[in-house]
Homo-oligomer: A and B are copies of this chain.
Amino acid sequence: MKPTPKPPRNPAPLLALGAHPDDIEFGCGGVVALETRAGRPAHLVVCSRGESATYGTPAERVVETEQAAALLGATVEFIELDGDAHLEVRAEHAIKLAGLLRRVRPGILLAPSLIENQHPDHARLGRLARDAARLARYGGVDELRDSPPHPIGQLFYYAVTPEAEPPDITPVLVDVSAPDILAAWTAAMEAHTSQTSARNYVELQLTRARLRGLRAGIGHAIALFPNDPLVLDSLAPVSRGARRF
């Protein structure tokens, strides 16, 4: 094989969107940890403070999120849309997120999946993220004229719970078995103590990742669901499949 070119020295950032303070960590925290440890900058954007949840105050949730982000090696910010449990699919939200994309200029965008049978904010944020990725490329949107258009590389959906995994998209499975990755992910989830003290969320996620890993013959894996087909220059990076039983 011809030598593979080294990865670019400054890989485009990863941007992850979450509707609530713990969604990113529970749904794809291991992937964020994996990428930051490989040198890719990661930025988390959380669109509420969890103010409608059963447990935890908004102030507590913000602190937990900042701790979790640090554990994942990522920066984090909060933005305002309609608030927890009140999110709607509005054009102005998609445009606001498109402005965020033009500012962060990510190569990879992570957003909650479009499956509606979960917390209603999740799928709506996913739809807004998909629309934002498109609007960020268009030159003429008035509200976005301050920053130049930006095309992302790929949008991957993550599933906060197993029910949210889209059945009609073939996932890619990201190996998060390395001990330091798994530990960072677990710590980031556990940083959300207001949530984890009440319900077994961490067990849910680790069980899910372990089941994915067992099926693939590895330790733990997280499924991501590409919004568009992957474009490849070679089959070399995709020559591992996920079937061991």
In the complex the two chains form, is B95's CB within 8 Å of A91's CB? Answer: no
Tell me the number of copies of this protein.
6
User: Does more than half of chain A's interface fall in helix, strand or loop, or is it mixed?
Assistant: loop
Q: Which residue from B116, B226, B245 sits with its C-beta under 8 Å from A201?
A: B245
CA A167 to CA B223, docked complex, whole Å: 17
Which of A71-79, A154-162, A184-192 participates in binding chain B?
Answer: A154-162
Residues of A within 8 A of B (CB-CB), count: 107
Would A215 and B163 count as touching, CB distance under 8 A? yes
A40 to B8, CA, bound (A): 24
Give the one of A50, A54, A86, A135 with max B CB within 10 A.
A86
Q: Which of B55, B168, B241 contacts A229 (CB 8 A)?
A: B241
Cα distance A229–B171 in the bound complex, in angstroms: 6
Chain B residues lying within 8 Å of A8, measured Cβ to Cβ, are 1
0/1 interface trace, chain A 218-240, chain B, CB 8 Å (1 if under)? 10010110111111111111111
A211 within 8 A of B: yes
User: Whole-angstrom distance from the CB of A222 to the nearest CB of chain B?
Assistant: 10
Q: Mark A126-148, 1 if CB is under 8 A from B, else 0.
A: 01001100110111111000000
Verify B1–A40 contact, CB threshold 8 A: yes
Asked if A237 and B232 sit within 8 Å, CB to CB, the answer is: yes
Chain B residues within 8 Å of A238, by CB: 154, 172, 226, 230, 232, 237-238
When chains A and B are docked, how far (Å) is the Cα of A122 from the Cα of B166? 22
**Which residues of the partner chain B approach A228 to less than 8 Å between Cβ atoms?**
117, 163, 241-243
Residues of B within 8 A of A236 (CB): 7, 11, 38, 40
* A104 contacts the other chain (CB 8 A): no
Q: Is the CB of A86 within 8 A of B82?
A: no
**Chain B residue, CB-CB nearest to A130:** B117
Let me know if A167 and B167 touch, CB within 8 A.
Answer: yes
Q: How far is the CA of A224 from the CA of B238 in the complex (A)?
A: 11
Residues on the B chain within 8 Å of A216, using CB: 229, 231
Q: Given that A54-B139, A238-B230, A241-B230 are contacting pairs, would A7 and B4 also be in contact in the complex, using a CB cutoff of 8 Å?
A: yes
In the A-B complex, the 5 residue pairs with the smallest Cβ-Cβ separation, listed nearest first, are A54-B139, A237-B237, A1-B39, A170-B170, A228-B241
